[in-house]
Every structure is written in C-alpha cells, then in structure tokens.
Amino acid sequence: MISVLIRWAIALALVMHGSVSQSYPIDKYVGFGIGYSWVNATLDEQPREDLGAISSAQYTDIKTQDIGVNIFTGFRFHPYYGVEVGYIYLPEIRFEKLSERRNANDTNPETSLEQGDIRDATVKAQGINLMHVFYAPLSKSVHLTAKLGAIFGEATFVDSETFIEVLVDEDNNEFRQNTPVGTERSSRNLSAFHWSISADWRLTKAWSTRWQIEQVNFEYDHEFEKYTQWYSSLSLQRHF
C-alpha cells in the first residue's frame, strides 16, 4: 500500500512540474477551512478461549469531538483539471474499550470475572494531502469537483488504562478493584488513499467558497480497530 502511495505522489509531482513548465495556470488559489467529522468503525476483536477462560471486548459508541482545520493551495491548468496540495488536521476520534477475562465454566456474570482492562483512547490525525482535481463546471460561478490522491502524516494515540482485578477480603468475599495504570502517548505514520467531492461558488473574481466532504481510512498493525473518518468542511478561497 505504501509503495502505491509513493508512486502516486511521484506521479502527481511529475504532473505538477510538467503542467507548470508547459502552461500558465488559468487559476491559482489558497484557502482555509474548518469542519466536523463522523466515523464508521470496524471493531474486529473476537472472543477467544484460552486455558479455561474467555477473553472478550466491549466498546462504547465511537465518536468525534473538536473541529478540524484544513489549509490548501491549488493550480488549475485546464477547465477540467488541476492539482491541489494541503494540510489537514482532523477532529479526534474517541472511544472506550472494556476487555474482560472470564471463567469459561462459570455462567454467572457476577462471579465469572477473573480480570479486566478499561482503555480510554483518543486518536488524532493530521497530514499533507496531494490531490488530482477534476472539475465539472455547472455555470460561470458554480462547479463541482472530485479529488483523488493520498494523505501522508501521522496519527497520535493517547491511551488511559485502568486495570480491573478480582480480590478476596478477610471474610473470603470477592470484590473488584480498579487501578489506574497511567496514560501512554504514541505516534504512528499515516499514509492512505484520500478522496473528496466538493461544490464551489465563485463570489467575486478574487473570492470563492467551498463545501467539501472527504474520507480517510485508518488501519494499523497490532490494532483491532479500523476507522473510516468522514470530514465535512466549509472553506474560503482567495484566487490570483
């Protein structure tokens, strides 16, 4: 996958170099936008049995919070084609995961728990996107665009962990004790196929506004969760 994205980036760079050297852009612009996102998640951790115990996981609803920011610049070389380079900071994804290990021979949920773990996790992604832009003019002031390309950046995971253990008191009664383990922060490379669609309205010769929806997929080794994050933004563009 990474090699495909690298080839895509090289191809985009060659297109940009060739286009700039052969024709002056019919439009150049810079823009800034803010937006919000929602997430479709695939939670792939399956129950498994080992040494008389069953391990399983439960999740709260995965949600996003905060707002996202995107900054971009683009060159339009033809009424139907251009390129765009931008930076995007996506709203964070947050979820809580409860992992439990229970006695396989005990069907009583009050007594079968042997140990557990609560993971409160957030994922924040940001990166540079390189995009081919295809235009579909509807009128002199309105056009639709479809963008295809790749995003390269990093995703930051912040995990707060609480360990659950079952203890026995002096009267031989079992009770649960939650012990905070701490917070761990880690960063992982992000490189993924990236696409978007948008509608652009030309307000004046120098200014336009854009509403855009784009998609980024997250999938990492050693993680059971996979995310598809949708980002909707409203942008203001300055044309030159």
- Predicted confidence at residue 21, as pLDDT, reads 43
Between 147 and 14, the higher pLDDT residue: 147
Q: What string of H, E and C letters represents the secondary structure of 143-179?
A: EEEEEEEEEEEEEEEEEEEEEEEEEECCCCCEEEEEE
- Predicted confidence at residue 186, as pLDDT, reads 83
Between 11 and 105, the higher pLDDT residue: 105
- Predicted confidence at residue 167, as pLDDT, reads 72
Band of residue 31 on the pLDDT scale cut at 50, 70, 90: very high
Which CATH fold would you assign to the domain 2-239? Porin (2.40.160)
Model pTM score = 0.73
| Backbone dihedral angles phi then psi of residue 102, each to the nearest 5 degrees | -120, 155
Band of residue 19 on the pLDDT scale cut at 50, 70, 90: very low
In the numeric block, which tokens belong to residue 29?
């612009």
pLDDT above 90 covers what percent of the chain?
Answer: 37
Q: Closest Cα partner for 121 from 183, 207, 206? A: 183
CA 129 – CA 71 distance, rounded (Å): 10
pLDDT above 70 covers what percent of the chain?
Answer: 76
Q: Up-side HSE of residue 44: CA atoms within 13 Å toward CB? A: 10
Which residue type is seen at 235? S
Burial class (CB in 10 A: 0-12, 13-18, 19+), 127: buried
Band of residue 109 on the pLDDT scale cut at 50, 70, 90: low
Per residue in 33-91, pLDDT tens? 999 998 877 766 666 666 666 676 777 767 777 889 999 999 999 899 999 999 999 98
The sign of the CA dihedral 15, 17, 23, 24 is positive
Between 238 and 61, the higher pLDDT residue: 238
| Backbone dihedral angles phi then psi of residue 2, each to the nearest 5 degrees | -65, -40
- Predicted confidence at residue 66, as pLDDT, reads 81
- Predicted confidence at residue 220, as pLDDT, reads 64
Per residue in 171-217, pLDDT tens? 777 777 778 887 888 888 888 888 999 999 999 999 999 999 998 88
pLDDT above 70 (res 23): no
Q: Up-side HSE of residue 176: CA atoms within 13 Å toward CB? A: 14
Average pLDDT, the chain: 81
In the numeric block, which tokens belong to residue 204?
């004046």
- Predicted confidence at residue 45, as pLDDT, reads 63
Q: Is 221 helix (H, G, I), strand (E, B) or coil?
A: coil
